[in-house]
Chain A
Amino acid sequence: MVDSMLAQFLNVALDVQTPAYAGIRVTGGTLAASDGVILVAFKLNSEYIRGEGMIPPATARALAALANEVYLEYVEVDGTAVSLVTREQYADRAECLTVSFPPFACRTLRIESFLPRCTPPDATLLCEAPSLKLVKAARLTDFVELVDKPVCGSELFQLKLPDAKVWYSVRQLREGLRLFRARDSVSVFRNDQGWLSFRDDWGRLFAVTPFVKRD
């Protein structure tokens, strides 16, 4: 079976990361990418995603293409060099095949240091499985804020009001929420700085920092 979830995560991560924050951070089986404002992460088994370092954008593109097509035994990261072990595509050949991607220049970004701020105890659970219809319906240039008391299954956002203290960009929300599929059950957390994070049962996380009103 191909790992379409990994491929999808890599594609979203590639869109999210910017030249200043180029690459996908790998540590302890977690993949994470950020542009400084939004963050996407995917917690996988540390036997499946091994090693520590950065997956440069070049390698990430190739890895995304491969993850969609072959059965991956594991991926190993050492600095910026990435190798993946896959099964041979022919049934009569039992051996595994290692595909090694050369190291490319990529600054090490310790994106994982942001992850505790997006999860309990730093962040508190706001709502389970909310409706995010407004994010789909609103324009990309719009801004939204959280409804007063979000409840499970009902709308999480409302359009930003003039006196809102903390609000979020629809564009940024849409970019990160692509990580989840339509039927994924998502939990929403918020920390005291207004960071909003969405997590699902598969270990994927999307966090976004808010726009804040300064008086």
Chain B
Amino acid sequence: MPSSELAHFLNVAIDIQATPFLGIHVADGVILATDGVMLVAKKFDNKVFLRGEGAISPKAAKVLEALAEATWIGSIAVVGNRVTATAQTTRYDEKAGGEVAGEYCDVSLPEFYCPRAPVARMLAVLTDESRGWETVAENPNVKVLKEMSARDYVALIDNPRNGGELFRPKEIDDPHWYSVAQLRRGLRLFGKNSRLSVRRNSSGGLTFSDQWGYTFAVTPFVKHN
């Protein structure tokens, strides 16, 4: 059975990561990628699954994604830029008449240089009370993002309701607004069954998080007078 969720996260993370925060960063059971404007992260409660601290280079991440797409990944250990995954083997069982799962084997990927990012500090920003984070809506509707062009911009509606539409097209006097393209890229992280919780801080930063530990954060465009 493939690790589809991990493969999907890596796919989105590889898409989002960019200089100066190249790579996918790991620390304290959190895997995170950012380009400085958007951030995607996943917190693993299972301390055995994701171990160590460091940065997975985009090259190693692509190999890991390919493996996760194809087989079950038992654990990932990151030490600096060195990544080791345990992948489950499969074999053909004549009695069962099909493919059965076998033992786990270590796959050590080549070490590619990738600078490390301060994961803990980045995540702390998303929960820092002094930044005035408040919950905007639970399980909102984001249909407008699908209908609009990727080049459009949106703003939050005035009083978003749980289950109601979260965005509207940007108006000229909006103090904060968001790119549809950026929102679309980040929101790919969540599945159809995700129950999203949306929070906003005083400077317009938005975070989407779900019950599985996935987080997507995006910074706004700001009107400067």
A residues in contact (CB < 8 Å) with B: 56-59, 61-62, 64-66, 69-70, 86, 88-90, 97, 99-105, 107
Contact = CB atoms under 8 A, between A and B. Distances in A.
Given A70-B59, A89-B113, A107 B67 contact: no
Contacts, number: 76
B203 interface: no
B47 to A, nearest CB: 24
7 contacts: A58-B70, A61-B70, A99-B107, A101-B107, A102-B104, A103-B90, A105-B100
A62 B108 CA distance: 12
Contacts of A102: 71, 87-89, 102, 104-105, 107
B212 interface: no
Is the contact region of chain A dominated by helix, strand, or loop, or is it mixed? Answer: mixed
B92 interface: yes
Contacts of A56: 70
B11 to A, nearest CB: 12
Contact of A89 (B87, B108, B112): B112
Contacts of A100: 105-108
B35 interface: no
Contacts of A58: 66-67, 69-71
B110 interface: yes
A105 to B, nearest CB: 4
5 nearest interchain CB pairs? Answer: A58-B70, A102-B105, A61-B66, A69-B59, A105-B90
B112 A69 contact: yes
Contacts of B65: 65
Contact of A97 (B59, B99, B110): B110
A105 B107 contact: no
A105 B109 CA distance: 22
B63 interface: yes
B91 A99 contact: no
A62 B67 contact: yes
B62 interface: yes
Given A62-B63, A89-B110, A89-B112, A103 B70 contact: no
Nearest to A86: B110
B89 A104 contact: yes
A65 B62 contact: yes
B111 A90 contact: yes
